[in-house]
């Protein structure tokens, strides 16, 4: 870099590269974000989610909330977006999630902030990238933890010849134990209005091993994806900057993996209309890249069911949702002996809360 360039860029943030991270490092992310009713309306316009608890203040108040809570994935994306300038500005791809728990509901007017701790590092064999593992914690204005999760991301190295940090891969749980799920305090879903929710099927009606094809498909528009990532203040170049990504391995911008999760969650309404809350994300893999113009489909399998201590009104379903691009899910495509079937883009394992009879 020339002296002029160094002076010009002295006050800007180029983001961290793989060799900048150290295990134990704590990152305090900038720009706390106050959630507004406008965010909620825009999120619904982008993804079309129809879950009644988040759509209707009256349904929410009957369940004991002060008003309709924000969609769990909107809260997740806002917390996630805070981390991007420090963790994944120079990412090649976000690879997965684990040990994510939703601990407090978020409402319009709440202000969310995020802090991350580096818990693992592993250089890739090509010497050009490495995987960074972080645990990120989102808090509201009261300092209460609203969600906590681990993710791992592939990050470019600034200099291929630079010595890599010592390898340290964390041990992560395969799933969040049902006993660690946190049901919303002060609520009751007894007599939940299934006419308002649009589905008669409650927790009792689902069986372990049951598969549910969600039937519908949603085509991703490039402009909608850009709007969504701006909504979360997610500034990763791989999503935003066609000038740089035009010279990358795909020649175009990648759709943010969380965008696919939100589409899959919205699609799951058809078949899981009473899965009112996401309780935890056990694990997730972005199996293949997704681009503007792709049409997303989804199907889910019930992996497990759990009762909740002290709650007879609410149960938990452990669900595995598979999303595909340009492949309807009537044949339930998924994993093969080696890798995944053609068209699979997301494999998400999570717990959802559902009212009981």
Asked if 52 and 194 count as a contact pair (C-beta separation under 8 A), the reply is no
What is the predicted pLDDT for the residue at 3? 45
Exposure b/e, 20-46, CB count within 10 A at least 16 = b: bbebebebebeeebebeeebbebbbeb
| CB neighbour list of residue 327: distance below 8 Å, 6 or more residues apart | 297, 333, 342, 343, 344
Q: What CA–CA distance (Å, rounded) separates 20 from 206?
A: 47
Band the pLDDT of 349: cuts 50, 70, 90: very high
User: How many other C-beta atoms are found inside a 10 Å radius of the C-beta of residue 137?
Assistant: 16
In this prediction, residues 299-307 reach a mean pLDDT of 98
Q: Average of pLDDT values for 225-235?
A: 92
Question: Look-up: residue for tokens 């009957």?
Answer: 62
- For residues 300 and 321, is the Cβ–Cβ distance under 8 A? yes
Output the six-digit token pair for 12: 């800007």
Domain ranges of the chain: 16-160+174-355
Query: Quick one: tokens of 193?
Result: 């209005």
The answer to whether residue 1 scores a pLDDT higher than 50 is: no
Residue 8 has pLDDT above 80, yes or no: no
- Which segments of 66-180 are extended strands (E)? 91-102, 111-123, 129-139, 145-156
What's the distance, CA 78 to chain centroid?
Answer: 10
263: number of CA atoms within 13 Å, CB side?
Answer: 30
Q: Note whether 140 and 111 are within 8 A (CB).
A: yes
On whether the CB atoms of residues 296 and 217 are closer than 8 A, the answer is yes
The DSSP annotation for 241-264 comes to -HHHHTTSSSSSPPPPHHHHHHHH
- pTM attached to this predicted model: 0.93
The whole-number pLDDT of residue 4 equals 47
In the prediction, which pLDDT does 235 show?
85
The model's confidence at residue 163, banded by pLDDT at 50, 70 and 90, is confident
SS3 59: helix
Model pLDDT, residue 141: 98
Asked if residues 95 and 101 have their Cβ atoms less than 8 Å apart, the reply is no
d(CA 228, CA 49) in angstroms, rounded, equals 14
99-149 residue pLDDT tens: 999 999 999 999 999 999 999 999 999 999 999 999 999 999 999 999 999
Give pairs for 235-239: CB < 8 Å, separation 24+.
Answer: 235/84, 235/85, 235/89, 236/84, 236/88, 236/89, 236/91, 237/89, 237/90, 238/91, 238/92, 238/93
pLDDT at 6: 52
Mean residue pLDDT across the chain:
94
Architecture label for domain 16-160+174-355:
Roll (3.10)
């Amino acid at each position: 870099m020339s002296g002029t360039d160094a002076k010009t860029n002295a006050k800007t943030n180029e983001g961290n590269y793989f060799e900048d991270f150290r295990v134990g490092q704590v990152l305090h992310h900038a720009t706390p974000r106050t959630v507004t009713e406008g965010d909620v309306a825009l999120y619904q316009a982008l993804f079309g989610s129809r879950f009644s608890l988040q759509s209707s203040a009256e349904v929410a108040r009957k369940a004991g909330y002060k008003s309709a809570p924000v969609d769990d994935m909107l809260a997740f994306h806002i917390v996630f977006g805070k981390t991007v300038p420090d963790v994944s500005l120079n990412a090649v791809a976000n690879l997965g999630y684990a040990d994510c728990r939703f601990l407090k509901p978020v409402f319009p007017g709440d202000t969310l902030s995020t802090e991350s701790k580096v818990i693992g590092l592993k250089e890739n064999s090509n010497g050009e990238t490495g995987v960074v593992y972080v645990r990120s914690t989102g808090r509201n204005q009261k300092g209460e933890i609203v969600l906590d999760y681990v993710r791992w991301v592939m990050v470019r190295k600034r200099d291929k010849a630079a010595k890599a940090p010592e390898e340290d891969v964390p041990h992560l749980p395969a799933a969040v134990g049902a006993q660690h799920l946190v049901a919303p305090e002060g609520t009751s879903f007894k007599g939940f209005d299934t006419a308002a929710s649009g589905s008669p099927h409650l927790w009792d009606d689902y069986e372990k091993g049951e598969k549910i094809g969600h039937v519908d498909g949603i085509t991703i528009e490039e402009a909608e994806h850009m709007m969504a990532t701006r909504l979360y203040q997610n500034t990763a170049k791989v999503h935003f900057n066609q000038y740089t990504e035009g010279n990358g391995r795909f020649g175009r911008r990648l759709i943010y993996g969380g965008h696919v999760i939100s589409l899959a969650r919205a699609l799951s309404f058809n078949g899981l209309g009473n899965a009112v809350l996401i309780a935890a994300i056990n694990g997730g893999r972005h199996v293949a890249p997704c681009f503007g113009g792709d049409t997303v489909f989804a199907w889910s399998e019930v992996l497990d069911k759990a009762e909740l201590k002290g709650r007879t009104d609410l149960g938990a379903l452990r669900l595995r949702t598979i999303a595909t691009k340009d492949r309807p899910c009537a044949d339930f495509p998924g994993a093969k002996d080696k890798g995944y079937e053609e068209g699979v883009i997301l494999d998400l394992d999570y717990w959802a809360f559902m009212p009981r009879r």
